[in-house]
């Protein structure tokens, strides 16, 4: 199977990331009491995971959102990713798939790059606010790079879209539980 269309990935990434990156920086900079917020987001992720496990959405012809909508959604997801300490892909990927804005492989590719950009921006925002870099930050960056490369290879060349959706459900469960219990 061929991987996602590179032009579609780039166009979607630009539309979603154009405001997501500065808003991820802002979210990383802000130091809000977020425990209730994290529990609500965690529950939403668990519900999304349950939907992927029970009834993964069928692959259909994608209907990308209007550019203005994608930019606005990207801003919200960027802020959310900065506030929760995630890269935002756990929010973007289900949206892209459930709303048929992209096929599974394209959604995976867009989300991987979206996560990278937002993670860097969120870390820089947090560093700007705290003037310190997490001790385990370099280890996480290396692990994320290796995991991203392996995941990209398997997601674009080896795994069927249904398998990708099931793995996404597992990631959503882990992220949801982490947000609820930490």
pLDDT digits (tens), the chain, 182 positions: 455 567 777 888 899 999 999 998 998 888 777 777 888 889 999 999 999 998 888 888 899 899 999 999 999 998 988 888 787 888 999 999 999 999 998 888 888 888 888 888 888 888 888 888 777 778 877 887 888 788 777 777 788 888 889 999 999 999 999 989 98
Asked if residue 50 belongs to a domain, the reply is yes
Asked if residue 1 belongs to a domain, the reply is no
Asked if residue 28 belongs to a domain, the reply is yes
Asked if residue 73 belongs to a domain, the reply is yes
Which range marks the domain in which residue 146 is found? 6-181
What is the tally of structural domains in the chain? Answer: 1
Distance CA 5, CA 10 (A): 9
Asked if residue 118 belongs to a domain, the reply is yes
Q: Please name the residues in contact with 120: beta carbons below 8 A apart, sequence gap of 6 or more.
A: none
């Amino acid at each position: 199977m061929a991987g996602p269309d590179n032009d579609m990935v780039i166009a979607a990434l630009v539309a979603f990331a154009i405001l997501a990156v500065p808003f991820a920086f802002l979210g990383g900079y802000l130091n809000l009491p977020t425990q209730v917020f994290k529990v609500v987001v965690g529950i939403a992720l668990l519900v999304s995971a349950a939907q992927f496990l029970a009834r993964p959405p069928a692959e259909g012809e994608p209907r990308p959102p209007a550019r203005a909508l994608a930019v606005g959604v990207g801003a919200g997801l960027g802020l959310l990713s900065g506030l929760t300490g995630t890269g935002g892909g756990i929010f973007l990927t289900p949206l892209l798939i459930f709303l048929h804005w992209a096929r599974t492989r394209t959604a995976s590719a867009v989300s991987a790059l979206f996560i990278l950009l937002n993670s860097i921006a969120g870390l820089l925002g947090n560093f700007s606010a705290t003037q310190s870099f997490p001790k385990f930050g370099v280890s996480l960056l290396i692990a994320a790079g290796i995991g991203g490369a392996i995941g990209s290879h398997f997601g674009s060349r080896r795994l069927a879209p249904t398998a990708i959706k099931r793995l996404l459900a597992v990631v959503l469960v882990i992220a949801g539980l982490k947000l609820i219990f930490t």
